[in-house]
C-alpha cells in the first residue's frame, strides 16, 4: 500500500471497511460510519462497546460450554464470527487513523497513535512499526553502515566513505556516524525489537531533553439543572521527559574477517542492531529507572498488575491472563496490541492441556491478541519464596515511546585486542523510554515453571 497515493490508500481502506460492514449487516449487526475523523473515532468506540457486550456472553458460555444446547452452541459460533469481523473493522479504523496521520498525539487519550506532533511550532515525526526512518533521511547512496564501520579499521578505496570518515572524525579519534547511515541502523534495530513489533512508536529526538504532555486523569462529566453552574472537573496533565541516555555496545571482529569476509558489512550491521535491540527490549519492559537506565513498563506507576500468588505459581489455564485483560478493560484502556513474555512462559501456554491430555482451547477474548517472546524478559525475579519467577506484559504498545537521537559515535579499539589480531568497536547510541499512558498496560507477575 505504501506505493499508492494518499487518495488511493484511503480508497483501498474504505473498500475493505465497506466489505466488513456488509458482512456484519448480513449477520444482523449494522453499523453506519461517515468519512470525517470524528465519525471514524465515534464508530470505532461503538464497535468496541459491541465487542465487549459479545465478549461478556462468550465468557459466560465458555464456563459452561459442555452443557450448552445445540442452539446455544450455534449462537456461540455466530458470535465468534461477529467478534472477528468487528475486530477486523477496528483494525481498519486504526489503519485509517494511523497511516493517514489523523490520530491525536500519544497520551492524549487511551486510544492514541500519531505520525507527527508539534513542539514549539516544529513538527516532530513519530514512527509507527511499519514506518522507516531512512525514508525521510538523506544518506549516502553508495555505501552502508557496515561498510562505513569496516573502513574505520582497515581503510577503503571508496572516496565517498573516506570523505565521510574524514568529516566525521572527532578530536578523540572516534567517528560520528552520518545521519543517513544512522537511520539505517535504527530501522534495523527497530525491526529486531519485540516491543516495536508489538506496536511501540519511535520518536526521533532533536535535543538532549525533550518533553511531551500526557493525560494523567480524565475530566468527569456531570448532570446540571437549568440555569445551574457547570461543575468544574479539570483533566490532570503531567509531563513526560525524554532524557537522551547513553547506550553502549562493544563488538569485536578479527582482522581476517574484516579483510576477507564477503558479507562482513551485513554481519556488522546485524551485530550492532541485534545487541542494541535486545537491550532496548529489556529496558522498555523492565528498566529500573535508576540512572542511567530508563524506566520501563514494569516499574512505571499506574501500570496494572495481576499476581500469580504470594509465592508465585505455574500457569495451568488462561484464567490469570483473562484477569490481565479484565484489568485493562476496567481501566478503559485501548484494545491490547500484544502480550510480551519469556519463551519459557510461551512454552507453558502452548502446552496447556485438559485432564484428558487434550490441548486447552484458548478463550476467544485472548485469541486475537498477538503473543511476542523475548529472552530480555527475566526468569529470576523474586516472588515470596520463589526466586525463579517471571512476568508477562499485556497492553496497547502504541502507548510505549522509544525516543532516539539520530547521532552515534563509534570508537575503534586497535591496541586493546591487538595481541589476538582483533579490532573492537564501541558504539554509543543515545535514547530513552517513556510510557505515554500507563493504564494501557497490565503485568502478570510471579509466573514460575
Structural domains in the chain, CATH included, are 6-99 (no CATH), 112-449 (3.30.2400.10)
Q: For residue 409, is pLDDT > 90?
A: no
Q: For residue 420, is pLDDT > 70?
A: yes
Nearest CA-CA partner of 421 in 260, 256, 261:
256
Q: How confident is the model at residue 64 (pLDDT cuts 50, 70, 90)?
A: low
Q: How confident is the model at residue 147 (pLDDT cuts 50, 70, 90)?
A: confident
pLDDT one-digit tens code per residue, 20-46: 777 777 777 776 666 555 666 666 666
Percentage of residues of the chain with pLDDT beyond 90:
34
Q: Give the per-residue pLDDT at 215.
A: 59
Give just the sign of the alpha carbon dihedral 54, 60, 62, 64. negative
Percentage of residues of the chain with pLDDT beyond 70:
71
Mean pLDDT confidence for 323-331:
96
Q: Give the per-residue pLDDT at 240.
A: 73
Residue with the bigger pLDDT between 410 and 142: it is 410
Nearest CA-CA partner of 280 in 253, 272, 116:
272
Q: Which residue has the cell 492441556?
A: 353
Global pTM value: 0.68
Residue with the bigger pLDDT between 336 and 49: it is 336
Q: For residue 247, is pLDDT > 50?
A: yes
Q: Give the per-residue pLDDT at 397.
A: 96
Q: Which residue has the cell 464508530?
A: 43
Query: By the 8 A CB rule, do 184 and 147 touch?
Result: no
Mean pLDDT confidence for 56-65:
61
Q: Give the per-residue pLDDT at 95.
A: 62
Q: Give the per-residue pLDDT at 205.
A: 85
Give just the sign of the alpha carbon dihedral 315, 321, 324, 330. negative
Q: What's phi and psi for 272, nearest 5 deg? A: -65, -50
pLDDT one-digit tens code per residue, 161-220: 888 888 777 656 688 888 888 888 888 899 999 999 999 999 888 777 777 666 556 666
Give just the sign of the alpha carbon dihedral 146, 152, 156, 162. positive
Q: How confident is the model at residue 112 (pLDDT cuts 50, 70, 90)?
A: very low
Q: For residue 111, is pLDDT > 50?
A: no
Q: How confident is the model at residue 5 (pLDDT cuts 50, 70, 90)?
A: very low
Q: Give the per-residue pLDDT at 1.
A: 47
Mean pLDDT confidence for 214-241:
68
What is the pLDDT of the chain when averaged over all its residues?
Answer: 80
Q: For residue 142, is pLDDT > 80?
A: no
Q: Give the per-residue pLDDT at 123.
A: 55
Distance of CA 70 to the CA centre of its chain: 41
Residue with the bigger pLDDT between 108 and 173: it is 173
Q: Give the per-residue pLDDT at 417.
A: 86
Q: How far is CA 159 from CA 36, 93, 142, 165, in A?
A: 52, 49, 10, 10
Q: How far is CA 251 from CA 269, 276, 420, in A?
A: 11, 11, 14
Amino acid at each position: 500500500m505504501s506505493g499508492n497515493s494518499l487518495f488511493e490508500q484511503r480508497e483501498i481502506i474504505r473498500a475493505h471497511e465497506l466489505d466488513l460492514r456488509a458482512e456484519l449487516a448480513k449477520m444482523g449487526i449494522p453499523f453506519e460510519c461517515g468519512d470525517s475523523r470524528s465519525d471514524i473515532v465515534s464508530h470505532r468506540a461503538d464497535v468496541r462497546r459491541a465487542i465487549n457486550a459479545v465478549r461478556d456472553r462468550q465468557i459466560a458460555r465458555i464456563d459452561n460450554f459442555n452443557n450448552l444446547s445445540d442452539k446455544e452452541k450455534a449462537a456461540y459460533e455466530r458470535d465468534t464470527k461477529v467478534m472477528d469481523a468487528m475486530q477486523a473493522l477496528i483494525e481498519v479504523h486504526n489503519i485509517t487513523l494511523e497511516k493517514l496521520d489523523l490520530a491525536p498525539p500519544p497520551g492524549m487519550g487511551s486510544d492514541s497513535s500519531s505520525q507527527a506532533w508539534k513542539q514549539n511550532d516544529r513538527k516532530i515525526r513519530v514512527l509507527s512499526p511499519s514506518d522507516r526512518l531512512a525514508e525521510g533521511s538523506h544518506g549516502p547512496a553508495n555505501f552502508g553502515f557496515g561498510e562505513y564501520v569496516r573502513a574505520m579499521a582497515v581503510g577503503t578505496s571508496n572516496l565517498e566513505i573516506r570523505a565521510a570518515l574524514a568529516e566525521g572524525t572527532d578530536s578523540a579519534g572516534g567517528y560520528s556516524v552520518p545521519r543517513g547511515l544512522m537511520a539505517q541502523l535504527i530501522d534495523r534495530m527497530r525491526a529486531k525489537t519485540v516491543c516495536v513489533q508489538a506496536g511501540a512508536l519511535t520518536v526521533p529526538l532533536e535535543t538532549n531533553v525533550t518533553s511531551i504532555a500526557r493525560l494523567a486523569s480524565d475530566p468527569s462529566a456531570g448532570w446540571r439543572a437549568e440555569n445551574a453552574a457547570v461543575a468544574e472537573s479539570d483533566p490532570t496533565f503531567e509531563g513526560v521527559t525524554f532524557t537522551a541516555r547513553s547506550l553502549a555496545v562493544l563488538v569485536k571482529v578479527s582482522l581476517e574477517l574484516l579483510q576477507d569476509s564477503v558479507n562482513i558489512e551485513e554481519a556488522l550491521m546485524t551485530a550492532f542492531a541485534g545487541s542494541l535491540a535486545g537491550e532496548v527490549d529489556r529496558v522498555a519492559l523492565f528498566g529500573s529507572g535508576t540512572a542511567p537506565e530508563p524506566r520501563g513498563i514494569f516499574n512505571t506507576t499506574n501500570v496494572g498488575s495481576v499476581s500469580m500468588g504470594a509465592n508465585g505459581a505455574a500457569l495451568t489455564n488462561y484464567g490469570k491472563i483473562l484477569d490481565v485483560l479484565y484489568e485493562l478493560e476496567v481501566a478503559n484502556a485501548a484494545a491490547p496490541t500484544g502480550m510480551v513474555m519469556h519463551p519459557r512462559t510461551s512454552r507453558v501456554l502452548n502446552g496447556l492441556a485438559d485432564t484428558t491430555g487434550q490441548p486447552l482451547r484458548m478463550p476467544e477474548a485472548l485469541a486475537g491478541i498477538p503473543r511476542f517472546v523475548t529472552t530480555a524478559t527475566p526468569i529470576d525475579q523474586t516472588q515470596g519464596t520463589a526466586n525463579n519467577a517471571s512476568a508477562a506484559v499485556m497492553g496497547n504498545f502504541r502507548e510505549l515511546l522509544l525516543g532516539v537521537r539520530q547521532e552515534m559515535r563509534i570508537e575503534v579499539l586497535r591496541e586493546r585486542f591487538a595481541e589476538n589480531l582483533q579490532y573492537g568497536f564501541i558504539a554509543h547510541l543515545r535514547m530513552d523510554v517513556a510510557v505515554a499512558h500507563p493504564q494501557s498496560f497490565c503485568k502478570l507477575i510471579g509466573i514460575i515453571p
